[in-house]
Chain A
Amino acid sequence: MNPWPFVIAAYCVTFLAAAGLALWSWLEMRRAERK
């Protein structure tokens, strides 16, 4: 079984979720502080 698709999938899921959370939190903070 080729291990690399599993390694790449684990890193991609983690980084996509972390980036999404960071972007969402930053936008929410900016929107709230501009009110």
Chain B
Amino acid sequence: MPSLHALANPARFLKLARPLTPVLFWAGVVLIAIGTWAGLMQTPPDYLQGETVRILYIHVPTAWLGMAGWSGIAVSSLTFLVWRHPLAMIAARAIALPGAMFAALCLITGSIWGRPTWGTWWEWDGRLTSMLLLFFVYLGFMALTRADAERGGDGRIPAIYGVAGSVLLPIIRYSVVWWNTLHQGESIGITKSTIAGSMLWPLPFTLLGFTLFFAGIVLMRMRAILATSKAEARMRRMAA
């Protein structure tokens, strides 16, 4: 098993990333397909929410990836600040777009779920507002990394922003505890859940499926960034 430091070498990383990209991506797609089929066809409707509860099987993975994406950016940014591994900042840049997209999908699917359940598309409560803030923080990170790259920066400012932005994660996580919100409290935990097993079982399929899919996308984007910087370095050498 290669160490984290060994993987920081772009050549070694690419040797591992090339075969891993399609494996992660397609394994994710298969698991999502199984979870979706089961979530839409095999589980019973909720006694209170009826059929709308089926949005759970995509809403929870999008919320998880919106937050896990920023955790990835924060860890990568910290790794870059401490050890100066350029690959860490490439990882942070690669995570930003899929992370922002899943945060947006969490807000959209939540809003679609909210209309028939709460009677409203949107409510400025703790959970919804903090998630919306996370989406804007993602947009800020993307703008900052682009501006930093264009100005020939060393990546330190986006990395500091990446670490600082992680302050939002516990706020989102505990928003349903700290404030009286329209959003339901925690119903799914690692060890116990308030949702019946007959309804919950497809969720691990979509959760793991979307996570593998996300990892496959991040590897694709890291490979694109690495190949582009390699091509740019070659053109600079030719011009010199």
Contacts and interface: CB of A to CB of B under 8 A. Distances in A.
Interface of A: 1, 3-4, 6-7, 9-11, 13-14, 17-18, 21-22, 25-26, 28-29, 31-33, 35
Interface in B208-240: 210, 213, 216-217, 220-221, 223-225, 227-228, 231
Interface string B115-128: 11000000000000
A29 B213 contact: no
Nearest to B221: A25
24 contacts: A1-B116, A3-B50, A3-B52, A6-B55, A6-B112, A7-B52, A10-B59, A11-B58, A13-B105, A13-B108, A14-B62, A14-B105, A17-B101, A21-B98, A22-B216, A22-B217, A25-B98, A25-B217, A25-B220, A25-B221, A28-B224, A29-B223, A31-B224, A35-B228
B227 A21 contact: no
Interface string B40-78: 100000000011101100110010000000000000000
Given A13-B105, A13-B108, A35-B231, A25 B224 contact: yes
Contacts of A26: 220
Contacts of B98: 21, 25
Given A7-B51, A21-B97, 6 more contacts: A6-B115, A7-B52, A17-B101, A22-B213, A25-B217, A29-B221
Nearest to A21: B101
A33 B50 CA distance: 48
B218 to A, nearest CB: 9
B141 interface: no
A21 B95 CA distance: 12
B101 A10 contact: no
Nearest to A26: B220
A1 B231 CA distance: 56
B181 interface: no
Given A3-B52, A14-B58, A22 B227 contact: no
A4 B54 CA distance: 10
